[in-house]
Amino acid sequence: MTEAVSRPTLEAVAARAGVSRATVSRVVNGGDGVREPLAERVRQAVEELGYVPNQAARSLVTKRHDAVAVVIAEPEARVFADPFFALQLRGISKELTAHDNQLVLLLTEGRADHARVARYLAGGHVDGALVFSLHLDDPLPGLIRKAGVPTVFGGRPDWSDGGPGPVYVDSDNRGGAREAVRHLVGLGRTRIAHITGVLDQTSAVDRLDGYRDVMGDADPRLVVESDFTPGGGERAMRELLDRCPDVDAVFAANDLTALGALRVLREHGRRVPDDVAVIGFDDVLPVAEQAEPPLTTVRQDIEEMGRLMARLLLRGRAGETPGAALAQASGAAPAEASGAGVVLPTTLIRRASA
Amino acid sequence: MTEAVSRPTLEAVAARAGVSRATVSRVVNGGDGVREPLAERVRQAVEELGYVPNQAARSLVTKRHDAVAVVIAEPEARVFADPFFALQLRGISKELTAHDNQLVLLLTEGRADHARVARYLAGGHVDGALVFSLHLDDPLPGLIRKAGVPTVFGGRPDWSDGGPGPVYVDSDNRGGAREAVRHLVGLGRTRIAHITGVLDQTSAVDRLDGYRDVMGDADPRLVVESDFTPGGGERAMRELLDRCPDVDAVFAANDLTALGALRVLREHGRRVPDDVAVIGFDDVLPVAEQAEPPLTTVRQDIEEMGRLMARLLLRGRAGETPGAALAQASGAAPAEASGAGVVLPTTLIRRASA
DNA sequence: CTGAAAGCGCTAACAG
DNA sequence: CTGTTAGCGCTTTCAG
């Protein structure tokens, strides 16, 4: 474990190049307004001394930090069982890196950590925040708003106040769910069940709504509440088989849930998709592809969601509207951009299970 | 996206409390040396104004940042398919949070990002670095050493120079592998194969060595190289079945690999564990428990590894030796602490597959 | 186009 | 025990 050594300062570079600190500063920050002979001499001095600007000093005067906080408020261990979170982070990281911003990760383990996060955000350490995994009665959004930090949410928040709606990025959960269920209907299935996610998250509610859009008049016993985990999927599937032995299709709220359902179906000797067709949600590759049989599922571009969140935050900071940022967002075309929310499209990936 | 507002300064608090800035500073930083009537008045002013110290200003003078970088150098997508990484992060985050340190996440997508990471680390933005996923010929460690930042590695690095060895935290990969293979032997298996991980990582090499410790004289065709992924596990298992149809046990380098092997075994009508026993490594719950059949595997305490890394870094910074930090590390007792490396024990978790 | 000078908000001697 | 005084390293008017 090496000792940190003291780094050269602007002053040192200036001395070496025979110019003033101001000139060095100009060159280091874009270089406009400095004539060529000088600029080159400065660059050389920077190189020779291995000068790296001291971010603390810079922030002190600019009030910018080139850093963004990513807040993951997931008390349950679910985030850690699901590559979802990692993919999202990867997208965020890519975008942030491209704009020379750092990613400060704030993980919370329950309410006790909320105050800490709020304090940090309020402390003006970062230029903005990206916030995930909000649940219905979560006090965090309120705290964050009070902190006065530009924020983009991952997933549609479920609250709304008088002011302008929160900026968020979401997948078209409802539309994706509809597509999945319609596919099942197209397969000739009539007893189509839905295993929900945790219903205090909007993603779960939206998927349930999508299911109902198509199956509005279905037997209510075909809907069973669950929690986005394989274990929950198993329990739900057992109950389903018990309540409705004639079920011939299952739309699970996510791939992990589908995995649990698949296992119980196998246990009970039901063949997939012959006896019961199964569709998941997410298309988390290692899960969906490795399932037995490989899972038909609703794909959402998780990495792109992360990237877009970061882009919105960065652009918004520059004074543009989310819409403008959105217009410039390459890659997946947003399905919808109502108010301050951006909703990415989903696509049905057909594999063997349905 | 709210505008950031300007926060109250020390000065403001001082004015409100009718004291000097120095006094407020003292109260804010521990409060020793300030008599009670005053201290209380200051605390009140802090409260009323909602004062939060400006970290940039503080760092500028203290040269400390209370921030640690976590560098994940994994060009492949593997990290994102494996909850390993998330668990490690969780452990790190917990420990860092407990000591009021922030976690700055540096994800790299290949060599192009190395320079950026090196620059950041050299820039003195953080007090230390936690570095993961090193491969054999990785230039990153060299760059990091040059940056002169206190560093703790996750997993035993494969290089060594003249100086004091690098500080690292690792699992007892070799011992764990031995235990797994011995278990297989105890089951009466004789044709025990090993599907390796990526052999440019020490964890994979150590597991292979452990296998050889027990099976030194075995048929060399029983060892097939792979890459820690389910797909790789499938390919390896096919080759194994082809080369040695009489194989009766498989020790896979990790759970994901075992998953692939399981699938191919099933495909070929081999029953697990009756015909072929299978053992994995990691005990990543959603993988191992949900496998078909549930996987017997070598468990490593991933979260604890993360926590320990952070602890070592924090303690090392305070001038203690890693050994001292280690002695204070609660929870899992280290199996071994040679030089600057800390090796955590592993345990065999028996489920249905072997 | 370049340099001089004035802080950004905070801590850390040093006096009193 | 408390206040005064210097800066930390950088950007940014403002002159020249």
Give percent of chain B with pLDDT exceeding 70: 88
Q: Can you state the percent helix, strand and coil of chain A, rounding each to 5? A: 45, 15, 40
Give me the CATH code for the B10-62 domain, please: 1.10.260.40
CB A291 within 8 A of CB A352: no
What pLDDT is stored for residue A81 in this prediction?
64
Output the pLDDT for position A221: 96
**Which pLDDT band, with edges at 50, 70 and 90, does B217 fall under?**
confident
Per-residue CA distances from A58 to A12, A52, A127, A239, B171 (Å): 16, 11, 14, 60, 41
- Look at strands B151-154 and B128-132 and give their pairing: parallel
Strand order across the B67-73 sheet = A341-344, A167-171, A151-154, A128-132, A67-73, A102-108, B102-108, B67-73, B128-132, B151-154, B167-171, B341-344
From B83, B102, B127, residue closest to A81, measured CB to CB:
B83
CB A319, CB A310: distance < 8 Å = no
Contact A73/A134 with Cβ under 8 angstroms?
A: yes
DSSP B221: G
CB A109 within 8 Å of CB A73? no
User: What tokens were used for A10?
Assistant: 């602007």
Q: How far apart are CA B262 and CA A351, in angstroms?
A: 20
Interface contact flag, B123 A52, Cβ < 8 Å: yes
Tell if the CB–CB gap between B104 and A109 is shorter than 8 Å: no
> Using CA atoms, how far apart are residues B128 and B130, in angstroms rounded to an integer?
7
Residues linked to residue B171 through DSSP beta bridges, in sequence order: B344
- A49: distance to nearest CA of chain B, Å? 12
pLDDT tens for B293-344 read 999 999 999 999 999 999 999 987 654 444 444 444 434 445 444 458 899 9
CATH pick for A67-170+303-344 out of 3.10.180.10, 3.40.50.2300, 2.60.120.890, 3.50.50.60: 3.40.50.2300
Buried/exposed B18-43: b ≥16 CB within 10 Å, e otherwise: ebeeebbbbbbeeeeebeeebbebbb
Q: For residue A158, what are the CA distances in angstroms to A281, B128, B190?
A: 21, 39, 59
Q: Tell me the domain boundaries of chain A.
A: 10-62, 67-170+303-344, 173-299
Nucleotide nearest to B14 (CA to C1'): D3
Interfacial B residues in 131-190 facing A (CB < 8 Å) = 145, 148-152, 167
pLDDT of residue A322: 45
CA of residue A242 relative to chain centroid, distance: 36
User: Does this chain's domain A10-62 share its CATH topology with A67-170+303-344?
Assistant: no
Query: What per-residue confidence (pLDDT) applies to A331?
Result: 43
pLDDT of residue B242: 97
Question: Is residue B103's pLDDT more than 90?
Answer: yes
Lateral strand order in the sheet of A277-282: A223-224, A192-195, A249-252, A277-282, A296-299, A347-349
Give the residue ranges of chain A where pLDDT is below 50.
1-4, 319-333, 335-338
Distance CA B46, CA A14 (A): 40
Average pLDDT over residues B172-191: 98
| Residue B121 banded pLDDT, cuts 50, 70, 90 | confident
B256-280 pLDDT, tens digit each: 999 999 999 999 999 999 999 999 9
Structure-token pair, residue A245: 């032995």
Q: Going edge to edge, which strands form the sheet with B346-349?
A: B223-224, B192-195, B249-252, B277-282, B296-300, B346-349
Confidence of residue B86 (pLDDT cuts 50, 70, 90): confident
- Both tokens of A89, joined, read 């982070």
Angstrom distance (rounded) from CA A78 to CA A197: 12
Cβ atoms of residues A317 and A130 within 8 Å? no
The tokens for A276 are 């019961």
Interface check A288 vs B, CB under 8 A: no
Query: How many other C-beta atoms lie within 10 A of the C-beta of residue B57?
Result: 15
Nucleotides of C under 7 A from a protein CB: 1-13
Q: Could you give the CA distance from residue A128 to residue A64 in angstroms, rounded to a whole number? A: 10
> What is the sign, positive or negative, of the torsion defined by CA atoms of B50, B51, B52, B56?
positive
Q: Which amino acid is at B205?
A: V
Rounded to whole angstroms, the Cα distance separating A245 from A109 reads 40
Given this model, what pLDDT does residue B335 score? 46
Instruction: Give start and end residues of each alpha helix (H) in A50-113.
Output: 55-62, 84-98
**Residues whose CB is below 7 A of strand D:** A 6, 9-11, 21-22, 25-26, 28-29, 51, 53-54, 57-58, 60-62; B 18-23, 26, 33-35, 37-39, 57, 60-61
Ordered DSSP codes for A70-86: EEEE--SGGGGG-THHH
Instruction: Give the confidence band of B164 by pLDDT, cuts at 50, 70, 90.
Output: low
| Alpha-carbon B108 to chain mean position | 16
Hey, is the C-beta of A324 within 8 angstroms of any chain B C-beta? Answer: no
Whether A9 has its CB under 8 Å from any CB of chain B: the answer is no
Token reading at B87: 């668990």
d(CA B193, CA B236): 10
Whether B236 and B201 have beta carbons less than 8 Å apart is answered as no
Q: Which H or E run contains B111?
A: none
| Architecture of the B173-299 domain | 3-Layer(aba) Sandwich (3.40)
The dihedral sign for the CA sequence A268, A273, A279, A285: positive
Query: In 3D, which of B87, B137, B128 has the Cα closest to residue B106?
Result: B128
For residue B143, give how far its alpha carbon lies from the nearest alpha carbon of chain A (Å).
13
Confidence of residue B77 (pLDDT cuts 50, 70, 90): low
CA of B15 to C1' of D1 (A): 19
Do B306 and B329 meet the contact criterion of CB atoms below 8 Å apart? no
Q: Is A290 on the interface with B (CB under 8 A)?
A: yes
Measure the CA–CA gap between A96 and A252, rounded to whole angstroms: 33
Environment class of B233 (CB within 10 Å of its CB; exposed 0-12, middle 13-18, buried 19+): buried
